[in-house]
Amino acid sequence: MVGNVLEVVGNVAEAVGNVAEAVGNVAEAVGNVLEAVGNVLEAVGDDSWAIA
């Protein structure tokens, strides 16, 4: 019984970890896009809009 409870808790923790990893991946992708946009704007010479 205790083993089953611990297994369920472990599964929930793993699921939460997977969601957190997915959120992190999305945040990283958004960061990469913003960095790319900043690089383009900087290359154009419009430093006032540089994100970095």
Give pLDDT tens digits for 4-37: 999 999 999 999 999 999 999 999 999 999 999 9
Domain range annotation of the chain: 22-46
pTM of the model: 0.62
Work out the number of other CB atoms within 10 angstroms of the CB of residue 41: 16
What the block records as the tokens of 47 is: 């430093």
| 33 SS3 class | helix
What pLDDT sits at residue 51? 59
What pLDDT sits at residue 30? 97
What pLDDT sits at residue 41? 87
Say if residue 2's pLDDT is above 90.
no
